[in-house]
Amino acid sequence: MKALCWHGKKDIRCDTVPDPQIEDPRDAIIKVTTCAICGSDLHLFNGFIPGMMRGDIVGHEFMGEVVEVGSDLRSKSAKLKPGDRVVVPFTIICGECEQCRRGNFSVCERTNRNRKIADKVFGHSTAGLFGYTHLTGGYAGGQAQYVRVPFADVGPVKIPAGMPDEQALFLGDIFPTGWQAAVQCDIQPEDTVAVWGAGPVGQFTIRAAVLLGAKQVIAIDRVPERLSMAQAGGAIPINFEQESVIERLQELTQGRGPEKCIDAVGLESHVGLKHPDTIYDRAKQALMLESDRPHVLREMIYVCRPAGVLSVPGVYGGLIDKFPMGALMQKGLTVRTGQTHVNKWAQDLLRRIVEGEIDPSFVVTHTASLDQGPDLYKTFRDKEDGCIKVVLKP
């Protein structure tokens, strides 16, 4: 089969690799009909997340048709059967451990095959992830024609007949990620919610904040087309290359600051002369003295209204420097973060799509074949050609 494989920093290729096989009675093999390149895939592409090995299949946003199941899924009462259309959450869950039973699916205690490495690095292991380093299990990803889905009796979300792939696909990651980012802010009707980053996750976060009733939603980015899409979704745009984020946010909140701040940027914040701390971070990153660039975290802590909430769906991988812990503590801010508990939200969000409350396909700007994937990684990374979300058809 064809698959997009990681071969090193800035080197992803469309290779021919062996087809996946059933390895466990709870497995299923999915024929991928649509997959996507996620912003967090760019961290792998740019070499900022450790733990990749040459030849690893990437991709954790995918959906398709079940073509084969393991022995546990062959009974008549099995949740999945060949022919079903499913979206597969990027977090692999067992559904049985204590964290899964609590609904904390992204920290499932059983699905990371390399949990000893993760225990060493993070203190405790988190869930296995598709196509996202050997720290999270080293599972083959879904930017491929076929993928093996472990624990297929609990993870995949069945999609109703007739729903286009582009509407359903994002239930596997960015839609619930944006939703969780907003929900964990505990949005109140009088709240101003500021969202840093108007990429795909930022776009869904903005719409979630609007649907959850925020009085005012503000999008912060530098790319005009992303800001125009954010504005379409109900946000007030701030272009940080044209105006001061702090001054504009203070102006929009009568000097109080936004009650809720969401970081949909993560570890690769933009580096520019207008934000000298980003140059400092980039220099330290180059010298391997810091792994992540936390400019957005610093700005959020500074501008957030005291007793406010910071929500961090953006991916961070390691260590940051010059973190204003004093301001965070003195202002009494709450931080909520984590990988998305996709299965906690997916059924509810699927209902919202079916009922017409939202159509997630608005975010798709580029559709291409798997062969074109390596080129589109570059297009997406460089934000060229109006690229916001790339969908691939294997």
Partner 1 sequence: MHQSRAQTVAAGLGFFSIGLGLAELIAPRLVRQALGFRCSDSVVRLYGAREIATGVGILIAWKRAPWVWARVAGDALDIASSRSPAGIAALAGVTAVDIATAARLSREENVPLPRRYDYSNRSGFPRPADEMRGAARTKKERASGPPSFDTTVRV
In the set 126, 180, 205, 278, which binds partner 1 (CB under 8 A)? Answer: 180
Structure token digits, residue 281: 């971070």
Stretch that binds partner 1, among 12-20, 66-74, 242-250, 255-263 (CB under 8 A): 242-250
Stretch that binds partner 1, among 118-126, 142-150, 299-307, 362-370 (CB under 8 A): 362-370
Q: How far apart are CA 356 and CA 175, in angstroms?
A: 15
Using DSSP's 3-state secondary structure scheme, residue 303 falls into helix
Least Å distance, CB 49 to partner 1, is: 25
What are the E-state strand segments in 274-389?
309-312, 334-337, 366-369
CA–CA distances in Å: residue 107 to residues 174, 190, 257, 312, 341: 18, 32, 32, 16, 8
**Binding to partner 1 in span 80-119, by CB under 8 A:** 93, 95, 100-103, 105
Using DSSP's 3-state secondary structure scheme, residue 54 falls into coil
**Binding to partner 1 in span 8-67, by CB under 8 A:** none
| Distance of alpha carbon 209 from the chain centroid | 17
What are the E-state strand segments in the chain?
2-6, 12-16, 28-37, 56-57, 61-69, 85-88, 91-92, 128-129, 146-149, 157-158, 192-196, 216-221, 236-239, 260-263, 309-312, 334-337, 366-369, 390-393
Least Å distance, CB 244 to partner 1, is: 6
Binding mask of the shown chain, residues 182 to 221, with x at each position contacting partner 1 by CB under 8 A? -xx-x--x-------------x---xx-xxxxx-------
**Binding to partner 1 in span 119-178, by CB under 8 A:** 154-155
Q: Is 372 exposed, middle or buried (0-12, 13-18, 19+ CB in 10 A)?
A: middle
**Conformational region of residue 186, where left means phi above 0, alpha means psi within -120 to 50, and beta covers everything else:** left
Pick the closer one to partner 1 by CB: 332 or 355: 355
Structure token digits, residue 295: 């400019």
232 binds partner 1 (CB under 8 A): yes
- Rounded to 5 degrees, what are φ and ψ at 130? -75, 130
273 binds partner 1 (CB under 8 A): yes
Using DSSP's 3-state secondary structure scheme, residue 62 falls into strand
Structure token digits, residue 101: 């039973």
370 binds partner 1 (CB under 8 A): no
Stretch that binds partner 1, among 47-55, 68-76, 125-133, 222-230 (CB under 8 A): 222-230
Stretch that binds partner 1, among 9-17, 70-78, 255-263, 356-364 (CB under 8 A): 356-364
In the set 127, 219, 300, 363, which binds partner 1 (CB under 8 A)? Answer: 363
324 binds partner 1 (CB under 8 A): no
Stretch that binds partner 1, among 295-303, 320-328, 370-378, 383-391 (CB under 8 A): 383-391
Stretch that binds partner 1, among 24-32, 109-117, 125-133, 227-235 (CB under 8 A): 227-235
Q: Which stretches of the chain bind partner 1, using CB under 8 A?
A: 93, 95, 100-103, 105, 154-155, 179-180, 183-184, 186, 189, 203, 207-208, 210-214, 222-226, 228-229, 231-234, 239, 241-244, 273-274, 276, 336, 343-345, 347-348, 352, 355-363, 365, 383, 386, 388
